[in-house]
Structures are given as C-alpha cells and as structure tokens.
Amino acid sequence: MKLSIVSIAVLTLATATLALTATPAPQNVNGRKENQQDRIAQGVKSGQLTAGETSRIESKEAAINHEERSMKKLDNGKLTAADRSALKQQQNAVSNQIYTDKHNAAVQPGANGPINGRKENQQDRIAQGVKSGNLSPSETAKLESKQASINHQERNMRAADNGHLTSHDRATLNNRQNHQSMAIYNAKHDGRRR
C-alpha cells in the first residue's frame, strides 16, 4: 500500500513538472502572432532566415494583421468563428513558411552582427506588444510592413555587393532601425489597447 501511494505521488509530481515545462502551442490569434514573431526573431538571430526570407514572411504577417483588422471592423470589433478559422489557416501557412525558410540551405551572412541583432530585438519588441495587448492589429501590420521594407532594402544592398554590406549600407539600415524602434515605442505607448 505504501509503495503504491509513493508511486502515485511520484507520478503526480512528474506529471505536474511536465505540465509546467511543456510549451503548449498558442490557441488564439494573438498567441499565434506572438509565437510566430518569436520564431522569426530566433531565425534572424541564428542566421537561419535571410533578409529576403524575413522580408517575405513579414509581408505575409502584415497582410494577415490587415485582414484581422478588416474582419473586426465588420463585426463590431470581434472575430467570428469563421474569421478565427480563416486567420488560423493563414497563420498555418506562414508557420510552414517560417519552418521551410529556417531549414533550407540559405543563411544570412553576419548572423551575429549588429544588423541582425537589431532586427531580432525589433521582432521581440513587436511580439511583446502583441502579447501584452499594447499593439493593435493595425499597428502590428504597419510595424511588420516597415520591418519587411527594411529587410528588403538590406537584401538589395547585399545583392549589390556580393552578400556584404558597406559601412554606408550599415549606417543607412541602422538609421531606419532607429526610426522603426521609435515607431514601435510610440505604438506600444499610445494608450490604445486591444
């Protein structure tokens, strides 16, 4: 009898520990957005996502955020079950794209450099704003579009110089990231909540 009580206690403790350490997949639209922003940031940090891949993913994320905003406008600020289903399908497609791009042979040169560090930081800040509710779908879409534009410009700069960035290129990108950083701050602190 004592052995079975101890076994049950150990099993219960192990199950509770597993439940606390397991990372469940986000089930709602905002959870998915935050999760995908974190995955993009990690891909940028590791160099698994190139500037071009990041730009394409950010553009798709921005389109989903625009669509969410439009859906909410039609239904008094709420998402219907059909809206959530449609957004989930689109997020699944972007999730698959993130996975594919992170696991292909393309890598970003200088992954540990300051340019990628800034991009990762911006992604993390956007994800945090989505999670906290300080960024609306409209604000998130605008920030994603700006980030996609910066990534597109970086890709073009690298293409023009055999995969490298000149000091002028780095200064230009840093200036754009400074403006993006201020835009993220302003959007997160404008008093509007989801």
Whole-Å CA distances, 73 to 85, 132, 137, 139: 17, 21, 11, 15
143's tokens: 């920030």
pLDDT in tens, 141-157: 899 889 889 988 988 99
Q: Where are the domains of the chain?
A: 23-188
Along the 194 residues of the chain, how does pLDDT read in single tens digits? 555 555 555 455 555 444 444 444 446 878 888 888 889 888 888 888 888 898 899 889 889 989 998 999 999 889 999 999 999 999 999 999 999 998 887 777 666 567 777 888 888 888 888 888 898 888 888 998 898 899 889 889 988 988 888 889 989 988 999 999 999 999 988 877 66
Of residues 166, 149, 146, 167, the one with CA closest to residue 158: 166
CA distance 134 to 130: 6
CA distance 145 to 138: 11
Element (H, E) at 183: helix 167-188
pLDDT in tens, 172-182: 988 999 999 99
Determine the residue type at 12: T
